[in-house]
Amino acid sequence: MPKLSVWYVRASLFYMALGGTFGAIILSHKGVPWAPWAWRLLDAHIDVVLFGWITLLILGVAYWILPRFGVRRGREGWAQGALVSMNLGLVLVIVTPWIPDARLFLLVGRVLEVLAVVAFVVHAWPRVKPLMVSTADTMAQAAKERKNLQGKR
C-alpha cells in the first residue's frame, strides 16, 4: 500500500471511530436524555461518516489500485491536496456548532470538501482506462526507462 493510501485509510478509520462516537452520543441521548448538546453533533456525524469514513476510504483504495503509468501514479500532488482539503473541510464542519456565529465555517468547510473531491477527480481521471491501454503504458514506460539506462552507460 503506498504511503499516501496509508494516510487516506488511517484517516478514514479515525473518522469512522469519531463518526461512530458522535452517533452513539446522539442515539443514547435520544433513548435516555443525558447530553442536551448531543443534537449539535448531527451535521458533523453525517459529514464525518459520509466524507471522512466512506469517501476517504474509497479514495485511498482507488489511489492504491487504479491502473498506473509505469511506476508512477500520475498527478500525485492533486491526490495529496485532496486529502489535506477534505481534512480541513471536515474539521471546520465539526467545530462549527461549538463556535458562536460561525455559520461561515460550515460554508467554507463544505467548499473545501467539494474542492477535495474535484482535486481527486483531476488526479484519478487519466488512471481510469482499459487494461490494454494500461499495459501498453507500462511497457512504454519500461522501454523508456531501459533506453535511459542504456544512454547513461
Partner 1 sequence: MPRVTRWFVRLSFLYLVGALLIGFGLAVRRMGWGPVMLARLSPVYFHFFMLGWATQLIFGVAHWMFPNYAPDAPRGREILVWFTLVSVNVGLLLRAFAEPLVGQGIFWGWLVVVAAVLQWAGIMTFVWNTWPRVRPRR
Residue nearer to partner 1 on the CB measure, 23 or 67 = 23
CB 131 within 8 A of CB 67: yes
One-letter amino acid at 101 equals D
Q: Is 28 in the site for partner 1 (CB under 8 A)?
A: yes
* All residues at 6 or more sequence positions from 51 whose CB lies less than 8 Å from its CB, including other chains: 86, 89, 90, 113
What is the spatial distance between Cα 35 and Cα 87, in angstroms, rounded to a whole number? 27
The reply to whether 13 sits near partner 1 by the rule CB under 8 A is: yes
Is 128 a binding residue for partner 1 by CB under 8 A? The answer is no
Query: What percent of the residues of the chain are helix, what percent strand, and what percent coil, each to the nearest 5?
Result: 85, 0, 15
Site for partner 1 in 43-102 (CB under 8 A): 49-50, 53-54, 57
Q: Does 30 bind partner 1 (CB under 8 A)?
A: yes
Candidates 5-13, 75-83, 89-97, 136-144; binding stretch for partner 1 (CB under 8 A): 5-13
Q: How far apart are CA 58 and CA 29, in angstroms?
A: 31
- When asked if residue 152 is in the footprint of partner 1 (CB under 8 A), the reply is no
Distances (CA, A) of 26 to 14, 30, 121, 132: 19, 6, 34, 50
Min separation Cβ 10 and partner 1, Å: 5
Number of residues that bind partner 1 (CB under 8 A): 25
- Interface residues with partner 1 (CB under 8 A) are 1-3, 6, 9-10, 13-14, 16-17, 20-21, 23-25, 27-28, 30-32, 49-50, 53-54, 57
